Amino acid sequence: MKITEVLNKAKPTLSFEFFPPKTPEQEEELLAVIGQLKTFKPDFVSVTYGAMGANREKAFFWANEIKSKYGLEPVAHLTCVNASKDDIAARLDELEKIGVENILPLRGDPPAGTDGLRLTADGFKHASELIAFIKQRQPNFCLGAAGYPEKHPESPSFAKDLDYLKMKVEAGAEFIITQLFFDNRLFSSFVQSCLRAGITTPILPGLMPITSLHQIKRFTGICGATIPPELMAKLEKHQADPQAIKQIGTEFTIAQARGLLKSGVKGLHFFVMNQAEPISTVLSELGF
């Protein structure tokens, strides 16, 4: 089922984002996580690439597993990085063959410590170019786009970033999933800015329960998201207590999600980090 059809539901949608495991032990853990979270009946799940397109084969493998073994609707990530047009075309054929209908085209990011992106001579520099290529070659795919409530860290300004998002929508993106954020006012402002720019595409807020102070500092440093001072102060006060960090993060996400649902969002998209417990607690409290 295409995400555009899913978003026509009367009630808010629920979706998860996983990352491909790297070891047999992590594969077993992910199987257990999917089994636990399946009980919440998510409308779709997405599977990420690693930096530079790493784990690409595994990402597609798990998209197939999620669809065929678990009966869940996958959204496959597809990036420009280190890929030619022929590479992308082959990937599209592969996704079509395994029955994937939804793709989240992204530019992709280089791994930490490198000097930038690797782009092929016959490839794409921007996600908007990738979206346009997919729409022209295989228009039956339903395509999404990434949105940044606090702008992409490489954008010179929020206005420029909004212009680029509009380019992605005009190229064929039919839904938007945001980067993680921790202040609902930022999401509300982002949605209003999109509307003023003529972007009426459905926007799903991306949420990540904080389970590790070190991890969330690293993630926000990469993606440009900010943590409210009050929340950061509470986290730092309990930084020596991992269980307290998880509890603080989970309680914050419950309150954040409740506020978003009250405001009438189309759905909630959770960055699971392949951990079932925090998401299960949040969704149980929300009544899913």
Confidence of residue 141 (pLDDT cuts 50, 70, 90): very high
Confidence of residue 51 (pLDDT cuts 50, 70, 90): very low
Confidence of residue 91 (pLDDT cuts 50, 70, 90): very high
Give pLDDT, residue 53.
44
38: domain CATH number is 3.20.20.220
Give pLDDT, residue 123.
77
Give pLDDT, residue 283.
97
Q: Is residue 122 scored above 70 in pLDDT?
A: yes
Annotate 270-283 with b (16+ C-beta within 10 A) or e (fewer): bbbbbebebbbbbb
Q: Is residue 117 scored above 80 in pLDDT?
A: no
**Hey, which of 12-26, 70-84, 163-177, 212-226 has the most confident mean pLDDT?**
163-177
Q: Report the share of the chain in percent with pLDDT over 90.
A: 76
Q: Tell me: the pLDDT tens digits for 199-217?
A: 999 999 999 999 999 999 9
Annotate 166-202 with b (16+ C-beta within 10 A) or e (fewer): bbbbebbbbbbbbbbbbbbebbbebbebbeeeebebb
Q: Tell me: the pLDDT tens digits for 22-40?
A: 888 988 998 899 999 999 9
Give pLDDT, residue 52.
40
Summarize the confidence of residues 269-288 as an average pLDDT.
Answer: 94
Mean pLDDT of the chain: 91
Give pLDDT, residue 21.
83
Tell me how crowded residue 94 is: count the other CB atoms within 10 A of its CB. 15
- Catalytic residue positions? 17
Confidence of residue 241 (pLDDT cuts 50, 70, 90): very high
pTM (2 d.p.): 0.93
How far is residue 89's CA from residue 133's CA, in Å, rounded to a whole number?
A: 9
Domain tally for the chain? Answer: 1
Helix axes 56-68, 85-97, angle to 10 degrees: 20
Summarize the confidence of residues 89-115 as an average pLDDT.
Answer: 83
* CA of residue 80 relative to chain centroid, distance: 16
How far is residue 182's CA from residue 193's CA, in Å, rounded to a whole number?
A: 18
Summarize the confidence of residues 17-23 as an average pLDDT.
Answer: 85
Give pLDDT, residue 142.
98
Helix axes 242-263, 184-196, angle to 10 degrees: 40
Tell me how crowded residue 255 is: count the other CB atoms within 10 A of its CB. 13
Domain residue limits at 241: 3-286
CB 150 within 8 A of CB 205: no
